[in-house]
Amino acid sequence: MPYPQFPTDCSSALCRHLTPAIYNELSGRRTRYGFTLDDLIRSGVENPDSSIGVYVGDEESYETFAPLLDPIIREYHHFDPETERHVSDMDPEHLKVDNPDPEGAYILSTRIRVGRNLHCFPLGPGLAQRERLIVECLVSEALKGLEGELSGHYYPLEGMDDATKRQLIEDHFLFKEGDRFLESAGLNRDWPEGRGIYHNDDKTFLVWVNEEDQLRIISMEPGGDIVRVFTCLSLAVDALQRKLTFAFSERLGYLTSCPTNLGTAMRASVHIHLPKLGERMEEFRAICNRHDLQIRGIHGEHSQSEGGIYDISNRRRLGITEVEAVRQMAEGVRELIEREKNL
Ligand code: ADP
Ligand code: IOM
């Protein structure tokens, strides 16, 4: 691929950071798994409306392509990957936050997820068909051993009927199909083989297998009891890491296919009804920016809000502990609710 030409209105992190000099420096490089610069940037080149535009194929890519990736990481996480070290804290005892909406007037549901990938395998964009099946097998075996509120069943996507799939997506439990950003990154190869979802009976604990990351470990429930959702997630992550070895670096924390998910790989969100603030997007964005929160629509990334309902979550995931990320989200959401009440 020659040096890409981005449309003039493109604002992705890729288009802002990929200079001709960096392109020339990196274009001959290849990791041991054969991942190249072209593979790394294809999604952002084919989809200029990406917010970031790069997907990483393996652990080594974070070193091999550091001249492009480090500035993106620095900008997104306000974290210097050359001098700082990521610190983790997933102890629910340390999370001292109240439900920001005890009357249940604004928050519809709370969801906290972390991404994880298996050490000794490439990340999703670099995963071969056979490796993806091995990952599915290892993860679904590990999930079988979960007990109590975490116990459930694994449902492979292959063979799942369309109505069930549609309902799971509609209810926000399952990932969407045919995401063009993931498609260009090679993350949808051999679809639907090797993909699936695990959940308990109440669908309060779920694991996505082989989507953007090999595991997305998810705790979610109606309402705003953030501590309970975090406690369940922490328990699950603890149980799974006794059975699986996750890709982790002292420098960058948990390694994920998208650099926005490095570190904690955690996105703590609420679905919240804020119709009045939704009419004042400038003020809404200003409050979110002050708390480093991201606004998404209600069908996930790249979707729009419906009926005044928004998905509000922590933006930063690296250089912040899990406990801090959740606290930051809770504090911002409290301020958003206060403002909505006063409008
Ligand atoms: P991820 O959180 O893994 O980055 P998305 O932003 O694509 O992925 O969201 C995945 C799904 O999770 C979507 O259906 C989205 O609506 C749903 N979701 C996110 N936050 C919440 C929440 N607080 N309550 C209910 N569903 C949620
Ligand atoms: N995480 C990833 N899906 N995302 C940041 C896509 C994008 O670059 O728009």
Task: Verify whether ligand 1 is closer than 6 Å to residue 333 (CB atom).
Answer: no
User: Tell me: the pLDDT tens digits for 202-223?
Assistant: 999 999 999 999 999 999 999 9
Is residue 167 a contact partner of residue 177, using CB atoms and an 8 Å limit? no
| Best mutation site among 10, 17, 52 for ligand 2 pocket (most ligand atoms within 8 Å of CB) | 52
**Mean pLDDT computed over 75-101:** 95
Q: Which of 216, 213, 300 is nearest to 257 (CA)?
A: 213
Number of helical (H) and strand (E) elements in the chain, helices listed first: 12, 10
pLDDT given for residue 113 in this prediction: 98
Length of the chain: 343
Q: How far is it, in rounded angstroms, from Cα 117 to Cα 210?
A: 9
Q: Report whether pLDDT(155) > 90.
A: yes
Q: Whose CA is nearest to atom 6 of ligand 1?
A: 300
Q: What is the DSSP letter of 59?
A: T
Residue type, 116: R
**Mean pLDDT computed over 33-50:** 98
pLDDT given for residue 82 in this prediction: 87
Q: How far is it, in rounded angstroms, from Cα 341 to Cα 343?
A: 6
pLDDT given for residue 254 in this prediction: 98
Cα(251) to centroid of ligand 2, in Å? 22
* Residue 1 binned pLDDT confidence (cut-offs 50, 70, 90): confident
* Residue 292 binned pLDDT confidence (cut-offs 50, 70, 90): very high
Task: Verify whether ligand 1 is closer than 6 Å to residue 273 (CB atom).
Answer: no
Burial class of residue 310, CB neighbours in 10 A (0-12, 13-18, 19+):
buried
Rg (CA), the chain: 20
User: Tell me: the pLDDT tens digits for 242-287?
Assistant: 999 999 999 999 999 999 999 999 999 999 999 999 999 999 999 9
- pLDDT above 90 covers what percent of the chain? 97
Cα(34) to centroid of ligand 1, in Å? 32
Q: Which two tokens stand for residue 113?
A: 């997820």
Is residue 61 a contact partner of residue 117, using CB atoms and an 8 Å limit? no
Q: Whose CA is nearest to atom 2 of ligand 2?
A: 258
Q: How far is it, in rounded angstroms, from Cα 247 to Cα 59?
A: 8
Q: Which residues contact 311 (CB under 8 A, 6 or more apart)?
A: 269, 270, 271, 295, 296, 297, 298, 300
Atom of ligand 2 nearest to the CA of 212: 3
pLDDT given for residue 163 in this prediction: 96
What Cα–Cα distance (Å) separates residue 202 from each residue in 149, 154, 222? 9, 14, 11
User: Tell me: the pLDDT tens digits for 169-200?
Assistant: 999 999 998 999 999 999 999 999 999 999 99
Cα(298) to centroid of ligand 1, in Å? 7
pLDDT given for residue 283 in this prediction: 98
As annotated, the active-site residues are 113, 212, 216, 258, 260, 267, 296, 301
Q: Whose CA is nearest to atom 1 of ligand 2?
A: 258
End-to-end CA, the chain = 52
Q: Whose CA is nearest to atom 26 of ligand 1?
A: 172
Quote the distance between the C-alpha of residue 296 and its chain's center.
12
Residues with Cβ within 6 A of ligand 2?
A: 50-53, 181, 212, 258, 260, 301
CA atoms within 13 A on the CB side of 84: 16
Q: Report whether pLDDT(21) > 90.
A: yes
Q: How far is it, in rounded angstroms, from Cα 259 to Cα 245?
A: 20
pLDDT given for residue 145 in this prediction: 87
What is the average pLDDT value for the chain, to the nearest integer? 97
What Cα–Cα distance (Å) separates residue 35 from each residue in 58, 186, 263? 7, 12, 22
